[in-house]
Structure 1
Amino acid sequence: MEMASLLRELRRKKGVTQEELANRLCITAQSVGKWERGVSLR
């Protein structure tokens, strides 16, 4: 499984939104979305 797919699957299983995850990591929700699409994993 790709890292991007794994991240999305785990986030959804935990019932966490992209916005909530972004806030916990002190990043933007757009960054989380990019990670989940495999656009950027920095």
Structure 2
Amino acid sequence: MNQYVTGAVIKELREKNKMTQLQLAEKLGVTDKSISKWENLRGLPDILLLQP
């Protein structure tokens, strides 16, 4: 999995569910700045956050 796909998928799913970065961040227990970094390819989420 590469950063581009990961960031694009996170953003697509967040927008599909009509969530803001802050709402998603609160749900995952991270900051909205983390969500922004993931979506803008400046970082990746911890794999444990992505497990169902």
TM-score (norm 2): 0.74
| Deviation (angstroms), 1:6 | 0.9
Backbone CA RMSD of aligned residues: 1.3
SS at match of 2:37: helix
| Deviation (angstroms), 1:38 | 1.1
What is the alpha-carbon distance in structure 1 between the residues aligned to residue 6 and residue 39 of structure 2? 8
Find 2:17's aligned residue among 4, 14, 24: 14
Letter in 1 for 2:41: G
2:26 corresponds to: 23
Equivalent pairs, count: 42
1:5 corresponds to: 8
Q: For structure 1, which runs of at least 5 residues remain unmatched after alignment?
A: none
Letter in 2 for 1:32: I
Query: Structure 1 segments of 4 or more deviating over 4 A?
Result: none
